[in-house]
A and B are shown apart, each in its own frame.
Chain A
Amino acid sequence: IAGITQAPTSQILAAGRRMTLRCTQDMRHNAMYWYRQDLGLGLRLIHYSNTAGTTGKGEVPDGYSVSRANTDDFPLTLASAVPSQTSVYFCASTGGQTGELFFGEGSRLTVL
């Protein structure tokens, strides 16, 4: 099934631990994004990649890093998780003329 796959769907981890959220798309989209969604706030962009080999910082990049070794994969890493990073994380990609975003199902992360 074409689309975006995120893993894990849910995770609880202790503060200070390292965590990587995986994102894979099979639509051959060039641009990919990582957002976090918190109650009462709009989606906030963490990092983005316009094409394989390039990445950029979004609105809330601190504490997160990304890589884009190829077109399909765009992992998000929390080097040392903190409780404020408890959130729902969405990976998205776009390749359409209108800039329509296609989202993964989300990864619910709880940092204790």
Chain B
Amino acid sequence: GQNIDQPTEMTATEGAIVQINCTYQTSGFNGLFWYQQHAGEAPTFLSYNVLDGLEEKGRFSSFLSRSKGYSYLLLKELQMKDSASYLCAVMDSNYQLIWGAGTKLIIKP
């Protein structure tokens, strides 16, 4: 079966760095997405990786290793507004998105 694994919850301190991991087993691979979802709101797009390596976008970076079935989202200089759930999703060979359950990130002052 297809599976996306990510930690349920993480806690970090304002101003610090946090890495949220995502491992996947899917039927084929056509890209990996990260979305941010604040409580009670809709998910919003953060990043897309289809090739191995690191994609940097401001304070957020996303890494992909296709051979290991692994990705991480790196958040630097954490701010209180970064408290949210972070969703990992993989597009399979049928171009369907398979979603992880999300990682709730709690930022403490």
Contact = CB atoms under 8 A, between A and B. Distances in A.
Interface string A6-36: 0000000000000000000000000000000
Interface in B23-55: 30-31, 33, 35, 41-45, 48
B95 A99 contact: yes
Interface stretch (A37-45, A60-68, A75-83): A37-45
Interface size class, chain A: 10 to 19
Q: Is the interface of A mostly helix, strand, loop or mixed?
A: loop
Q: Is the interface of B mostly helix, strand, loop or mixed?
A: strand
Contact of B4 (A42, A44, A90): A42
A98 B51 CA distance: 12
Nearest to B88: A42
Nearest to A4: B42
Contacts of B74: none
Interface of B: 4, 30-31, 33, 35, 41-45, 48, 87, 89, 91, 95-102
